[in-house]
Amino acid sequence: MDNASILIIEDDKAIADLLVYGLNREGFRTSAASTGAEGLRQVELARPDALVLDWMLPDMSGLDLCRKVTSGSAVPILMLTARSDIADKVLGLEFGADDYLTKPFDLREVAARIRTLLRRIRQAGTPDSPAADDTDTIRFKDIELVKSRRIVRKNGRVVELTPKEFDLLRTLCEYRGKIFTRAELLEFVWGSGFSGDARTVDTHIQRLRKRLDVHDWITTAFGIGYKFEKRQP
């Protein structure tokens, strides 16, 4: 986990330099970008293991950049911002951030949160890993979900999901036919301490449907929530 590559996208040079220095001391390999466009290029070229992303950038909103990155990648994102309102936190998570930390921050907490995000991602293993036991695998349509390695394949190819997308899919799959309210899904997947609202669930459901083409499996119970269809694969 140490020696992972971390891309810091932050336009305040003093903060960026502090993060580079502190995370390097924690054993990470860091690089920095001061604009959204530069950050997006580095994401595409260098494929970092995680992003530390500022909310306010000179050329685009960090939220817009977050949405661009998560549309084509499952790289975990820790958003740093001076905004402390709960509504802002929820908005950041809805746009694809995996975690959120307000400024001023403690470098030790930044490092700890990055390690937590990386740990969740790396539990997925690699495409060449030995096949898991069938009791550990959920299959439907052309998709298989391996619980112990937190990996999802479609037509045999790994589909990159964020940690919360995986947890949401697993929860729905393990309770086929059960209608979950949005509040129940927030409790199951995000935990009782999460301060978000139903829009967070809706956004993640939309992403799952799009990435896996499972519109006919993850269905909407209008006025209530969502369910995973109870039928044979």
**Which has the closest alpha carbon to 171: 154, 193, 187, 160?**
187
How much of the chain is in helix, strand and coil states, percent to nearest 5?
40, 20, 35
- Read off the tokens for 16: 């960026």
The CATH classification number of 134-228 equals 1.10.10.10
CB count in 10 Å sphere of residue 193: 5
Q: H or E element: which one contains 95?
A: none
CA–CA separation, 88 vs 189, rounded Å? 20
pLDDT digit string, tens, across residues 118-129: 876 665 443 334
Give Cβ neighbours of residue 215 (< 8 Å, ≥ 6 apart): 209
CB proximity list for 8: less than 8 A, separation 6 or greater:
16, 19, 20, 23, 30, 31, 32, 33, 51, 52
Q: What angle do CA 39, 40, 44 make, to 5 degrees?
A: 115
How far apart are alpha carbons 141 and 109 in whole angstroms? 41
Mean pLDDT, residues 183-205 taken together? 80
pLDDT in tens, 127-160: 334 334 456 888 888 899 988 788 899 998 988 8
Over residues 167-196, the mean pLDDT reads: 83
pTM of full prediction above 0.75? no
Gap between the Cα atoms of 97 and 91, Å rounded: 9
- What single-letter DSSP state applies at residue 150? T
pLDDT at 12: 92
What CA–CA distances, in Å, run from 133 to 136, 139, 149, 216, 230?
Answer: 5, 12, 11, 27, 22
User: Do the domains 5-122 and 134-228 sit in the same CATH topology, yes or no?
Assistant: no
Give residue limits of the domains in the chain: 5-122, 134-228
| 3-class secondary structure, 146 | strand
The CATH class given to the 5-122 domain equals alpha beta
Token pair recorded at residue 230: 């109870």
Residue 211 has a CB neighbour count (10 Å cut-off) of 17
Output the pLDDT for position 126.
Answer: 39
Of 122, 66, 133, 127, whose CA–CA distance to 93 is shortest?
66
For residue range 62-108, what is the model confidence (pLDDT) as tens digits?
Answer: 888 888 887 777 788 998 887 666 666 677 777 778 888 888 889 99
Secondary element (H or E) of residue 12:
none
Q: What is the pLDDT of residue 119?
A: 78
